[in-house]
């Protein structure tokens, strides 16, 4: 049980956080996460590049969306920063001068990493569900997977888990085919578990 005497974090705590971290407030507590690493950043940026032209600009797709990198969302008492989020234009035709958004998006995407995966799944997904966000994607750039979820009766329904270099159509952006290989194209393969990156590569005989 939380200590009732413990001070709840405020937006000032977010503003006072060091610039090299991502500051969020979950359940009244300040959460500080390291800035994303290379694979995380590359996959997030690439996904934004792929979705932007057809869905935000209407170039080769239906348009009708505003898609943003790392928007700060104020959802009731929680402050969270998804890696990507998108609003349908009929709900958010344009943006003002505020540094954050109180209108929940229609879609969020989190890039999982070793330091954030548990936080993203166990804490942020319930916040997104409570806010009524209809779609959530979880991308693991190291494992090269995309998990697609849709909100159903207040709970997340997994629509599919896609791996590797496949081509998919995934809600809410199923109007186009998405080539997942482009997300990982510039990411070095993850060394096998237990390997040491500093050691010289060894050859193994796989024949009997």
CATH for 76:
3.90.1570.10
What is the extent of the structural domain holding 108?
36-184
Distance CA 54, CA 50 (A): 8
**Number of domains making up the chain:** 1
25 lies in some domain: no
86 lies in some domain: yes
* CA distances to 81, 151, 195, 197, 203 from 200, in Å: 40, 47, 10, 8, 10
Query: For 38-61, what is each residue's pLDDT tens digit?
Result: 888 999 999 999 999 999 999 999
140 lies in some domain: yes
Peptide bond into 172 cis (omega under 30): yes
The pLDDT score that the predictor gives to residue 7 is 85
Is residue 193 a contact partner of residue 199, using CB atoms and an 8 Å limit? no
With a cut of 70, list the residues of the chain below it in pLDDT.
1-5, 190-208
16 lies in some domain: no
31 lies in some domain: no
The pLDDT score that the predictor gives to residue 191 is 64
φ/ψ of 67, rounded to 5, equals: -120, 130
The pLDDT score that the predictor gives to residue 200 is 39
136 lies in some domain: yes
The pLDDT score that the predictor gives to residue 189 is 78
**Pairing of β 135-140 and β 107-112:** parallel
Is residue 133 a contact partner of residue 103, using CB atoms and an 8 Å limit? no
* CA distances to 8, 70, 137 from 186, in Å: 41, 21, 20
202 lies in some domain: no
φ/ψ of 25, rounded to 5, equals: -125, 120
23 lies in some domain: no
pTM, two decimals, is 0.87
SS3 68: strand
- Comparing CA positions, the residue from 122, 168, 119, 131 lying closest to residue 148 is 168
Distance CA 89, CA 178 (A): 22
The pLDDT score that the predictor gives to residue 1 is 46
Residue 205: burial class (beta carbons within 10 Å; 0-12, 13-18, 19+): exposed
């Amino acid at each position: 049980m939380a200590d009732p005497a413990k001070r709840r974090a405020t937006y000032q705590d977010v503003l006072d956080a060091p610039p090299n971290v991502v500051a969020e407030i979950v359940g009244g507590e300040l959460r500080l996460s390291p800035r994303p690493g290379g694979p995380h950043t590359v996959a997030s940026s690439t996904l934004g590049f792929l979705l932007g032209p057809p869905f935000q600009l209407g170039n080769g797709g239906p348009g009708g969306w505003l898609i943003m990198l790392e928007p700060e969302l104020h959802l009731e008492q929680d402050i969270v920063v998804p890696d990507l989020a998108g609003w349908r234009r009929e709900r958010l035709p344009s943006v003002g001068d505020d540094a954050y958004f109180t209108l929940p998006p229609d879609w969020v995407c989190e890039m999982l990493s070793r330091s954030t995966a548990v936080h993203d799944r166990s804490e942020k997904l319930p916040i997104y569900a409570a806010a009524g966000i209809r779609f959530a994607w979880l991308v693991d750039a190291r494992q090269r997977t995309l998990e697609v979820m849709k909100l159903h009766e207040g709970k997340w329904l997994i629509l599919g888990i896609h791996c590797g270099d496949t081509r998919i159509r995934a809600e809410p952006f199923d109007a186009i085919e998405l080539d997942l290989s482009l997300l990982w194209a510039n990411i070095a393969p993850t060394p096998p578990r237990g390997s040491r990156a500093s050691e010289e590569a060894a050859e193994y005989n796989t024949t009997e």
